[in-house]
Amino acid sequence: MIAMTRSEVSVNEAVLFVAFELGKKTWKLAATTGLGVAPWLRTVASGDLGAVAAVITAARARFAVPETARVLSCYEAGRDGFWIHRALGARGIENRVVDSSSIEVNRRHRRAKSDRLDARKLVLLLVRVCCGDRHAWREVRVPPAAVEAARHRSRERTALTQEQTRLRNQIGSWLATAGCVVSRRRRQPPQWWTTVRDWAGEPLPAPVQARIARAEMRLALVAEQVALIDAAQAETTAAAAPTSPHGRLVQLKGIATTSASVLIDEGLVWRAFQNRRQLGGLLGFAPVKYESGELSRDQGISRAGNDRLPSTMVQLAWGWVHWQPASALTQWYLARFGTGKRTRKVGIVALARKLFIALWRWATAGVLPMGAILRRA
């Protein structure tokens, strides 16, 4: 049986293709009606949707495209996010957001590059995709507006915890330059830095103490903000129905509110996965083979997925081994990677991938991981 790819446009259908090359000050628009038709380029001010509508109207007249014809557009995912996608959709334009890293490029040592060239290339790629070439690029799945807004909370918490770690490490480095080491427990009393002695038994210099004091003030503010976010996430968890994806995840022993929030916000459910390969691709834990002629080698994992999920899943995998020792996943991990420190670190990535699939099935279909323990009510 031969696999067929269906074109989104028919041969006799008049369609206007528009590509956006987005910049901070201006946008480049390239319009065409198909392959073999030279793209028409225009420049508008950044964010001027009225000018965009005027360009599309002029492009219809230039290419003799009826007012009732479809308009298909695209742009590369970037700093502007998805508001342009939603604005175009509200105006009846069928838009798609493209993963810029998936666009094919010329591999010559030097190649010309400009916004005009990029817009021309992008609109021709759009024509190819709409004609059935599904491998010309990869598209970004646009989250619902409510989901996009909700995930700011978990992302902010991640940024704040990283800021905590950075400040604590900085304080430790300042102490090390003075020849003294202070444990985390000794840093708890108020103004603890005034009691620290350097290598010669002398108090820390006044500028160093002042800098540590200001860093401790920033640490206190960050801790307060983290506590506020934790309280908000706890309220969301308490309000979640037991049969909802969020409610199911927190029922599992070893899955806390913070981890469940990251998984839900980053797309465990709303991305509507269809198979395990798509889940592995999002994590970036998919294997990458390199085979050419007689040469064949394993390049490891792709690392091309969401940046926030891999670290979360690796942490959950270590916690799963501890809190779910009787589960089938833990038994598989211990049987295959249980010996040796290095093999355990390598195997935890494989466990994280399998665990991500199991959590997806549990959250979406209610299929409990084999041998998993639920929290006591």
Supply the DSSP symbol for 192.
G
- Report percent pLDDT > 70 for the chain: 97
Supply the DSSP symbol for 203.
B
Query: Which value, in Å, is the radius of gyration of the alpha carbons in the chain?
Result: 27
Taking 60 as the threshold, does the pLDDT of residue 1 lie above it?
no
Taking 60 as the threshold, does the pLDDT of residue 377 lie above it?
no
pLDDT tens track for 244-257: 999 999 999 999 99
Query: Which position has the token pair 């806390």?
Result: 256
CATH class of 15-130: alpha beta
Element (DSSP H or E) covering residue 329:
helix 328-337
Within 8 A by CB and 6+ apart from 75, the residues are: 19, 20, 21, 22, 84, 85, 95, 97, 98, 122
242 within 8 A of 134, measured Cβ to Cβ: no
pLDDT tens track for 314-356: 999 999 999 999 999 999 999 999 878 888 988 999 999 999 9
Within 8 A by CB and 6+ apart from 13, the residues are: 69, 70
Average pLDDT of span 294-304 = 78
Using a cut of 0.75, tell me whether the model's pTM lies above it.
Answer: yes
pLDDT tens track for 90-100: 999 999 999 98
Taking 60 as the threshold, does the pLDDT of residue 3 lie above it?
no
